[in-house]
A and B are shown apart, each in its own frame.
Chain A
Amino acid sequence: MKTYLGIDVGSVSANFVLVDEAGEVLEAVYLRTRGRPLEVVQEGVAALAKTADHGAVAGVGTTGSGRVLAGLVVGADVVRNEITAHAAATARLIPGARTILEIGGQDSKLIIISPGGTVADFAMNTVCAAGTGSFLDQQAARLGIPIEEFGAIALEAQTPVRIAGRCAVFAETDMIHKQAMGYGLPEILAGLCEALVRNYLNNLGKGKDIRDKVVFQGGVAANAGMRRAFERVLKRAVHVPPHHGVMGALGAALLARAQTGPGARTGFKGFDLANRDYRTGCFNCNGCANQCEVVEITQASTVLARWGDRCGRWSRAPLVSGA
Chain B
Amino acid sequence: MRLTFPHMGNLWISVKTMLDSLGAPVVCAPLTTRRTLSLGVRYAPEGACLPLKLNVGNFLEAAELGADTVIMAGGCGPCRFGYYAQVEQAVLDDLGVSLRFLVLEPPEGSARELVGRIRAITDARSWWQVLGAVRRGFVVARCLDVLERRAQSLRPREVRPGAADQALAAAEKIMAGAWSSGAAPAFRRARALLEAVAIEPERPVLRVGVVGEIFTLLEPFVNLDLMQRLGRLGVEVSRSIYLGEWINEHLFLGLYPGIHSARGVRKASLPYLGHFVGGHGQETVGSAVLFGEKKLDGVIQLLPFTCMPEIVAQHVLPSVSRDLGIPVLTLVLDEQTGDAGLTTRLEAFVDMLWGNRGGICA
Chain A contacts to B: CB under 8 angstroms: 65, 80-84, 88-89, 91-92, 107, 117-122, 124, 126-127, 206-207, 251, 254-255, 257-258, 288-291, 310, 312, 316
How many A-B pairs have beta carbons closer than 8 Å: the answer is 80
Residues in chain A near residue B347, CB distance under 8 A: 80-81, 84
- Contact between chains at B362 and A251 (CB < 8 Å): yes
Apart from A89-B362, A118-B355, A120-B352: 8 A-B pairs, beta carbons within 8 A:
A80-B351, A118-B352, A122-B352, A124-B348, A207-B317, A289-B30, A310-B225, A312-B165
Residues in chain B near residue A290, CB distance under 8 A: 33-34
Assess whether B95 is interfacial by the CB under 8 Å rule. Answer: no
Q: List 11 A-B contacts (CB under 8 A).
A: A65-B344, A81-B348, A84-B348, A118-B352, A207-B318, A255-B362, A257-B362, A289-B30, A289-B35, A290-B34, A316-B162
Nearest CB in chain A: distance from B217 CB, A: 18
- Contact between chains at A119 and B318 (CB < 8 Å): no
- Contact between chains at A124 and B361 (CB < 8 Å): no
Residues in chain A near residue B112, CB distance under 8 A: none
- Contact between chains at A127 and B305 (CB < 8 Å): yes
Nearest CB in chain A: distance from B64 CB, A: 12
Assess whether B334 is interfacial by the CB under 8 Å rule. Answer: yes
Residues in chain B near residue A120, CB distance under 8 A: 352
Closest 10 CB pairs of A and B: A207-B318, A88-B362, A83-B348, A118-B355, A289-B33, A81-B347, A119-B352, A84-B351, A290-B33, A81-B344
Complex Cα gap A302–B115 (Å): 64
- Contact between chains at A92 and B345 (CB < 8 Å): no
Complex Cα gap A206–B343 (Å): 22
- Contact between chains at B341 and A107 (CB < 8 Å): yes
Residues in chain A near residue B349, CB distance under 8 A: 122
Q: Are A82 and B355 CB-contacts (below 8 A) given A288-B33, A291-B35, A316-B162?
A: no
Q: Are A312 and B344 CB-contacts (below 8 A) given A117-B361, A118-B356, A119-B355?
A: no
Complex Cα gap A158–B225 (Å): 52
Which of B315, B321, B345 is packed against the most chain A CB atoms within 10 Å? Answer: B345
Complex Cα gap A206–B328 (Å): 13
B325-350 to A contact mask, C-beta < 8 Å, 1/0: 00100001010000011011101110
Q: Are A206 and B341 CB-contacts (below 8 A) given A81-B348, A121-B327, A127-B332?
A: no
Residues in chain B near residue A254, CB distance under 8 A: 362
Chain B contacts to A: CB under 8 angstroms: 30, 33-36, 161-162, 165, 225, 305, 315, 317-318, 321, 327, 332, 334, 340-341, 343-345, 347-349, 351-352, 355-356, 360-362
- Contact between chains at A92 and B362 (CB < 8 Å): yes
Complex Cα gap A314–B344 (Å): 22
Q: Are A127 and B355 CB-contacts (below 8 A) given A81-B344, A81-B348, A289-B33?
A: no
Nearest CB in chain A: distance from B159 CB, A: 15
Residues in chain A near residue B361, CB distance under 8 A: 88, 91, 117-118, 258
Complex Cα gap A281–B315 (Å): 43
Complex Cα gap A126–B315 (Å): 15
Residues in chain A near residue B355, CB distance under 8 A: 118-119
Complex Cα gap A15–B343 (Å): 21
- Contact between chains at B351 and A119 (CB < 8 Å): yes
Q: Are A81 and B362 CB-contacts (below 8 A) given A127-B334, A206-B315?
A: no
Residue of B225, B332, B343, B348 touching A119 (CB-CB under 8 A): B348
Nearest CB in chain A: distance from B172 CB, A: 14
- Contact between chains at B318 and A206 (CB < 8 Å): yes
Complex Cα gap A126–B348 (Å): 15
**Residue in chain B with minimal CB distance to A258:** B362
Complex Cα gap A41–B157 (Å): 35
Residues in chain A near residue B360, CB distance under 8 A: 258
- Contact between chains at A83 and B344 (CB < 8 Å): yes
- Contact between chains at B343 and A81 (CB < 8 Å): yes
Residues in chain A near residue B30, CB distance under 8 A: 289
- Contact between chains at A126 and B332 (CB < 8 Å): yes
Complex Cα gap A288–B36 (Å): 12
- Contact between chains at B351 and A291 (CB < 8 Å): no
